[in-house]
């Protein structure tokens, strides 16, 4: 029986734990530690981990694998504490899930340990945080990057890959620097742009208070990630600062070209600009299965009064269908409102859809 210890049982730690438990079953014990004891006990009661410990030292004792699933700026200190702990097994594999790999790689070179460190980053996630958002299929069909240093024995990399088969992700290897440069372009910089775009739109609100209210699908799609955890993105931005500064400079040049294009007002050139981007965007493969969308959303058209919401939630309660989130979308005026119900499991969504339709409400899902 192998032991895996998750340090930090939030969205990513919880999702890795669920995937491991589902795949490896009773061949594996998952122990958890989190500095936030309420998260730790929640993870335990949701069955995300087999056992929680309020002591880091106790949690890592006996572990064959230790996953560090904490914010990037916290990783260095934690890595040292874990790798230099006398309670850590000789030859244990310590890995992390942080969104940047350069900083943690540098820190891992500052000390020697009988354990092995292999950096990791599953390229899937959500703008939501915490163990309640964890899902066993979050990484299915996503890329999972490993950044082993040259001195790490290949047998150890193979051992980690074998464990991670449980995630059903595509495991790839690259250097920490290559990783950070690539994710700056397709993850970190887009988060900066999304947040800046929200601020940009909001700055026009004083002139006209319709600005954010009128925001529809397009604006919401491109800015979803601006709802992510600010602390997590502060850490990522600081940790990938150099590549991000370069991205911003390149972007300024690109926006200058876009400015010229719009000012010139040449129809063919404008269409070509959109056509080129469409071709590239259409060619990016979407993950067919797995956790996209990260949650299962059901939309119900409801008359705009609270009694109906109570009726629907009571109905689902009777059938023991658990709802992760309820939200009233203010996109419709006057009579109809749209109620968004979020579920963790597709089966729950399907059952809820059937029940609500039988109660004569118009229900639809958007994938
Ligand atoms: N959210 C995403 O989309 C995503 C995707 C891939 C990787 N990541 C990376 O995964 C890591 C975790 O992110 P998350 O989204 O799971 O965040 P989260 O907030 O959901 O979970 C982080 C957990 O770590 C705990 N924690 C913080 N410092 C700790 C410490 N010193 N010791 C023990 N526990 C500690 C927190 O209490 C929290 O429960 C980050 O490094 C992030 O960059 C995030
Ligand atoms: O889907 C989201 O909300 C994410 O932002 C996930 C996302 C990304 O794709 O940029 C964010 C950070 C991680 O390091 C990996 C994945």
Residue 339 CB burial class (10 angstroms; 0-12, 13-18, ≥19):
buried
330 has a pLDDT exceeding 70? no
Q: Write the pLDDT tens digit of every residue in 93-108.
A: 999 999 999 999 999 9
pLDDT band with cut points at 50, 70 and 90 for residue 322: confident
Average pLDDT across the chain, whole number? 92
pLDDT band with cut points at 50, 70 and 90 for residue 311: confident
- Ligand 1 contacts CB of residue 68 (under 6 A): no
More confident residue, 180 or 307: 180
304 has a pLDDT exceeding 70? no
Q: Where in the chain is the domain with CATH 3.40.50.720?
A: 2-174
Q: What is the number of the ligand closest to the CA of 124? A: 2
Do the beta carbons of residue 10 and residue 48 sit within 8 Å? no
- Ligand 2 contacts CB of residue 171 (under 6 A): no
Q: Where in the chain is the domain with CATH 3.30.2130.10?
A: 296-365
141 contact partners, CB below 8 Å, separation of at least 6? 168, 169, 170, 287, 288, 289, 290
Which of 41, 69, 98 for a ligand 1 pocket mutation test, highest count of atoms within 8 Å of Cβ?
69
Q: Using the CB atoms, write b or e for 183-204: b if 16+ within 10 Å.
A: bbeebbbebbbbbeebeeeeee
Q: Which CATH class is domain 296-365?
A: alpha beta
In this structure, the number of other CB atoms found within 10 A of the CB of residue 252 comes to: 9
Give distance in angstroms: CA of 123 to centre of ligand 2: 7
Q: What percent of the chain has pLDDT over 90?
A: 74
* Sheet of 65-68, strand order: 51-52, 28-33, 2-7, 65-68, 93-96, 116-122, 143-147, 170-173
Q: Which atom of ligand 2 is nearest to the CA of 128?
A: 3
Q: Where in the chain is the domain with CATH 1.10.3660.10?
A: 179-282
- Ligand 2 contacts CB of residue 287 (under 6 A): no
Whole-number pLDDT of residue 327: 75
- Ligand 2 contacts CB of residue 292 (under 6 A): no
9 has a pLDDT exceeding 70? yes
Q: Write the pLDDT tens digit of every residue in 163-200.
A: 999 999 999 999 999 999 999 999 999 999 999 999 99
In this structure, of 25-29, 262-266, 319-323, 324-328, the range with the lowest mean pLDDT score is 324-328
Count helices and strands (H / E) in the chain: 14, 12
Whole-number pLDDT of residue 260: 98
Q: Which CATH class is domain 2-174?
A: alpha beta
- Ligand 2 contacts CB of residue 226 (under 6 A): no
Give distance in angstroms: CA of 231 to centre of ligand 1: 10
pLDDT band with cut points at 50, 70 and 90 for residue 300: confident
Q: Out of 3.40.50.1220, 3.30.210.10, 1.10.3660.10, 1.10.287.80, which CATH number does the structure's domain 179-282 have?
A: 1.10.3660.10
pLDDT band with cut points at 50, 70 and 90 for residue 335: very low
In this structure, of 11-15, 172-176, 335-339, the range with the lowest mean pLDDT score is 335-339
Whole-number pLDDT of residue 307: 79
Give distance in angstroms: CA of 40 to centre of ligand 1: 13
Whole-number pLDDT of residue 346: 81
Q: Write the pLDDT tens digit of every residue in 66-84.
A: 999 999 999 999 999 999 9
For residues 164 and 16, give the distance between their C-alpha atoms in angstroms, rounded to a whole number: 9
């Amino acid at each position: 029986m192998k032991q895996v210890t998750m340090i930090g049982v939030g969205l990513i730690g919880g999702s890795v734990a669920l995937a491991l438990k589902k795949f490896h079953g009773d061949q594996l014990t998952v122990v958890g530690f989190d500095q936030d004891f309420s998260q730790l006990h929640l993870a335990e009661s949701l069955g995300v981990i087999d056992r929680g410990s309020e002591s880091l030292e106790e949690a890592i004792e006996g572990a064959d694998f230790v996953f560090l699933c904490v914010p990037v700026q916290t990783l260095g200190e934690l890595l040292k504490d874990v790798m230099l702990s006398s309670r850590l097994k000789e030859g244990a594999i310590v890995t992390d899930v942080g969104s940047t790999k350069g900083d943690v790689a540098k820190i891992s070179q500052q000390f020697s340990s009988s354990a092995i460190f292999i950096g990791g980053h599953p390229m899937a996630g959500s703008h939501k945080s915490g163990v309640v958002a964890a899902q066993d299929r979050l990484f299915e069909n996503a890329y999972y990057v490993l950044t082993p240093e040259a001195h790490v024995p290949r047998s150890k990399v193979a051992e980690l890959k074998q464990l991670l088969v449980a995630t059903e992700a595509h495991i790839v290897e690259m250097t920490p620097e290559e990783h950070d440069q690539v994710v700056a372009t397709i993850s970190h910089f887009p988060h900066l742009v999304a947040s800046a775009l929200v601020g940009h739109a909001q700055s026009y609100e004083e002139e006209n208070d319709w600005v954010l209210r009128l925001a529809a699908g397009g604006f919401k799609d491109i800015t979803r990630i601006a709802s992510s955890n600010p602390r997590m993105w502060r850490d990522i931005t600081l940790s990938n600062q150099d590549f991000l500064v370069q991205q911003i400079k390149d972007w300024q040049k690109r926006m200058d070209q876009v400015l010229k294009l719009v000012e010139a007002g040449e129809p063919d050139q404008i269409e070509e600009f959109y056509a080129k981007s469409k071709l590239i965007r259409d060619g990016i493969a979407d993950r067919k299965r797995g956790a996209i969308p990260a949650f299962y959303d059901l939309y119900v058209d409801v008359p705009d009064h609270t009694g109906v919401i109570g009726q629907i939630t009571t109905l689902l309660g009777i059938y023991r269908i658990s709802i992760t989130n309820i939200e009233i979308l203010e996109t419709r005026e006057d009579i109809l409102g749209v109620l968004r119900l979020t579920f963790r499991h597709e089966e729950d969504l399907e059952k809820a859809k059937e029940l609500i339709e039988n109660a004569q409400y118009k229900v639809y899902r958007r994938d």
